[in-house]
Amino acid sequence: MSTLNDVLQSIRPESDFTQSTDFLEDGLLDSFDMVALVASLDKAYEISIDGLDIVPENFRNAEAITALLTKYGVPRCS
């Protein structure tokens, strides 16, 4: 199973997500990246993230994304 960092690096390989507490504010992810990230998370973890959950608050940092994945039954994936 891919780690969350693996999935993030596949979206933006030049970015260091481990040093950020707010991916959006720090410019590591934009709205297009969020769409790509949702698709990658869906594929990596064999889930389908509901459109209502695709909001910036759920993608601000690794903790927020992990909480979202947990909601969909994905075990801790950091």
Q: Rounded to 10 degrees, what is the CA torsion of 12, 31, 51, 44? A: -10
Mean pLDDT of 48-75: 96
Average model confidence (pLDDT) across the chain: 93
The Cβ-side half-sphere exposure at 27, using a 13 Å CA radius, reads 1
Residue 1 has pLDDT above 60, yes or no: no
Residue 33 has pLDDT above 60, yes or no: yes
Tokens found for residue 56: 């910036």
For the whole model, what pTM was predicted? 0.91
Radius of gyration, alpha carbons of the chain: 11
Residue ranges of domains in the chain, CATH in brackets: 4-71 (1.10.1200.10)
- What pLDDT score does 77 carry? 62
